[in-house]
Amino acid sequence: MKMLSKRLIGVIIVLIGVIALVFVMLRVIPGDPASVLLNEHVSQENIDRLTQSMGLDKSLPEQFVDYLGHAVRGDLGQSYFFKQPVTALILEAFPYTLKLTLLSIIFAWTLGIISGVISAMYNEKFLDYIFRPAALLGISVPVFIVALFLQYLFYFRFSLLPLTYDTSLLSLIMPAIALGWNSAGSVARLMRSNLMEQLGAPYMDTALAKGLLYKKAVLVHALRNAAVPVISMMALQLSGMLSGAVITESIFSIPGLGKLALGAIQTRDMPLLQGTVIFTALLIAIGNIVADVLATILNPKIRQESNR
Amino acid sequence: MKKENRQKSEHEFLRAFLQNKAAVISTVIILLIIILSVLAPFLTRYDETGQDLLNRLMPPGNGHIFGTDELGRDVFTRVFYGTRVSLLIGLFPTVLAVAVGTVAGVCAAHFKGAADFIIMRLADVMLSIPGMLLAMVVLYTLGGSLTSVIISLILMEWGGIAVVVRSAALEIQECEYVTAAASIGAGKLWIILRHILPNLLPTLIVLFTLNIPSSILSESSLSFLGIGIQPPQVSLGLMTGTSRQYLFSSPHLVLAPAVMILLLVLSFNFLGDALRDILDPERKTL
């Protein structure tokens, strides 16, 4: 519990850091936002009024404190382009990204764990020589190439799946595979090296000496221990997936967070981009804490240390 | 380390390197790609931006090895000019990110206390924003260009490097030879330059090699989305992005740059893996 509260404080510090960084980076831009927003035929008076209503006449630190105060209460400002609260837009887009990411994680973990285990159990044998380079290929292919390849294959060649997202689960299959492909590769690599380490541990000899079958010993004992680092890596994967979601959502036109952020760049919608980036950082922070808790539950060693 | 010892360890490294098939093959492929893209202007009679509207969307053949694109430009020529950009993106920002990450990591490990706290929280901040979105913030402010892509890549990568360097440097600091050097009155700077940096070198080489492919991937993704490198400059990601609409009618337009990206990233990943096996067999730091 003590470890958790310590982690929580660390996460909050980092999140405030994220807000500060994004806030400053988006404001070092030359020119004032109010006049960019209105067209050039608007009088100075109107520009001033908008500047004031946007709070842009205050100093940068004052603006930051204002923004932070509102952000804590869940108010991320007003979108320039949609003329709606940023928070509402984000919450509308989030379920799509969540669904996509969850499906990708299921795909990546299933494929990654199975191929990692096969690779480790048949180390330096035929199957390993297939699965190991395959995993490296997994982490080497850009998301957009997987996506285009899938579209060519399953839409154009075999017409099995819809080209873009149409709210059906079927149309999420290609996006989920495209987004999960990289993670599957890294899970497989991590799983392989962890399991190899566990297979050499003394408890494996004991299990085998007791007469347990090799395959059963692997599945019952070694796999559980090897899975802990994979779970700890979950937050890192989440970060990679949210990056990949920008590309996947754009290719398959899924109205999620990535598409929202990309649209915000194209329409120069600063509050929307700012809000989306901060929201993804929050997601990663939550992912970090969940991964920590899961690892603690699964690994007695960490559990003991944290109880001390 | 004495001079003889260093020569000996270099010799050993070279031997292990030459015995590792993956390392040798990937190095050969990388060198081949570098030579071909440096010589690109002499290998082709086309101009990378020269349009030929009468010969649009031609299939491979007829003097155009990979065919022509929607403006009649020679795809083969453009792939190699794009590769030049990818190589630049792979090497240049990565060198800078490793430099920044090393300075930050060594400082954090050495000064401890407040400096350590501030540097590491800053790295945490960088790491808790998804790379693509951090880059988008930079690109929003600076606009899409080669320079802004380079700046975003450095911002994306230094944090992760700093974390690894810090833990490696802490481990080296605990070594007896460092305490011994300090006890005979060696200065801090001397210890850093003479003991910590040379012993960090294997870690840095592996970090550098493994960050090259991720830089190339990030640049190609940003340019694919149209927010990275802008035309008329050539980039493999940008080529894939603009050819996307011809995916079903002229798949070779997508295939040529895609295969090149894949080849580059795969070779650097193979090389990085092999170097890690050679330099850090027990996987202590990475």
CB A268 within 8 A of CB A108: no
What is the pLDDT confidence band of residue B174, given thresholds at 50, 70 and 90? Answer: confident
Q: Give the C-alpha separation, B157 to B160, whole Å.
A: 6
Name beta bridge partners: A85: A78
Residues A66 and A99 in one domain: no
> Are the CB atoms for A145 and B265 separated by under 8 Å?
no
Q: How many CB pairs under 8 A join A and B?
A: 133
Q: Domain for residue A88, yes or no?
A: no
Is residue A6, in this structure, part of any structural domain at all? Answer: yes
Average pLDDT of the segment spanning B251-258: 88
Between B4 and B168, the more confident residue is: B168
Q: Least CB-CB distance to B270: which of A136, A250, A285? A: A136
Residue at A84 is within a domain: no
CA–CA separation, A68 vs A13, rounded Å?
Answer: 13
Q: What is the pLDDT of residues B104-118, one digit of tens each?
A: 999 998 888 888 999
Q: Are residues A108 and A68 in the same domain?
A: no
End-of-domain residue from the set A72, A101, A128: A72
Chain A interface, best mutation among B129, B158, B270, by max A CB count within 10 A: B129
Binary contact (B227, A247; C-beta < 8 A): no
Model confidence at B264, pLDDT cuts 50, 70, 90, reads very high
My answer on whether A264 and A175 are in the same domain is yes
Q: Please, are residues A96 and A249 in contact by the beta-carbon 8 Å criterion?
A: yes
- Check whether residue A220 and residue A114 sit in a common domain: yes
Could you tell me where the DSSP H helices lie in B146-279?
146-173, 176-183, 188-191, 197-224, 236-243, 251-279
Mean pLDDT estimate for chain B: 85
* Mutate: best of B121, B139, B140, B259, partner A, most A CBs <10 A: B140
- Tokens 């919608």: give the residue: A269
Residues A199 and A66 in one domain: no
Please give the Cα distance from A289 to A282 (Å, whole number): 11
Q: Note whether B213 contacts A29, CB cutoff 8 Å.
A: no
> Does residue A86 fall inside a structural domain?
no
A277:B133 CB<8 A: yes
Report the number of distinct structural domains present in chain A.
2
Q: How far apart are CA B191 and CA B196, in angstroms?
A: 6
Percent of chain A clearing pLDDT 90 (strictly above): 30
pLDDT of residue A175: 94
pLDDT tens for each residue of B223-239 = 999 999 998 888 999 99
Average pLDDT, chain A: 84
Is A196 buried (19+), middle (13-18) or exposed (0-12) by CB count in 10 A?
middle
The CB density around residue B167, as the number of other CB atoms within 10 Å, is 15
Say if residue A65 is in the same domain as residue A107. no
Q: What value does the mean pLDDT take over residues A224-233? A: 78
A260 and A143 in one domain? yes
* Percent residues over pLDDT 90 in chain B: 38
Domain membership of residue A18 as a residue range: 2-72
CB contact under 8 A, B125 and A21: yes
In three state form, how does the secondary structure of chain A look? CHHHHHHHHHHHHHHHHHHHHHHHHHHCCCCCHHHHHCCCCCCHHHHHHHHHHCCCCCCHHHHHHHHHHHHHCCCCCECCCCCCEHHHHHHHHHHHHHHHHHHHHHHHHHHHHHHHHHHHHCCCCHHHHHHHHHHHHHHHCCHHHHHHHHHHHHHHHCCCCCCCCCCCCHHHHHHHHHHHHHHHHHHHHHHHHHHHHHHCCHHHHHHHHCCCCHHHHHHHHHHHHHHHHHHHCHHHHHHHHHHHHHHHHHHCCCCCHHHHHHHHHHCCCHHHHHHHHHHHHHHHHHHHHHHHHHHHHHCHHHHHHHHC
pLDDT at B163: 92
A99 and A156 in a common domain? yes
Find chain A residues with C-beta within 8 A of B254's C-beta: 148
Q: Are residue A20 and residue A51 in the same domain, yes or no?
A: yes
- Across the interface, do A25 and B138 touch by the CB < 8 Å criterion? yes
Tell whether the torsion through CA atoms of B21, B24, B30 and B33 is positive or negative: negative
Answer whether residue A232 is part of any domain.
yes
The answer as to whether A297 is a domain residue is yes
Residues A220 and A273 in one domain: yes
Domain annotation covers residue A82: no
Asked if B227's CB is within 8 angstroms of A265's CB, the reply is yes
All domains in chain B, ordered by first residue: 2-285 (1.10.3720.10)
Cβ A285 vs Cβ A273: under 8 Å: no
A22, A40, A72 - which closes a domain: A72
Say whether B143 sits in a helix, a strand or coil. coil
> Once rounded to an integer, what is the mean pLDDT over residues A23-39?
68
Does A148 contact B266 at a Cβ distance shorter than 8 Å? no
* pLDDT tens per residue across span A185-212: 988 988 888 888 887 777 777 877 887 7
Closest partner residue to A152 (CB to CB) among B225, B251, B270 is: B251
Residues A102 and A140 in one domain: yes
Together in a domain, A68 and A200 = no
What CATH number is attached to the domain comprising A242?
A: 1.10.3720.10
**Percent of chain A with pLDDT strictly greater than 70:** 89
- Residue A308, pLDDT > 70, answer no
| Residue A212 in domain | yes
Residue of B29, B118, B132, B261 to mutate for A, most A C-beta atoms under 10 A: B132
| Separation CA B25–CA B266 (nearest Å) | 11
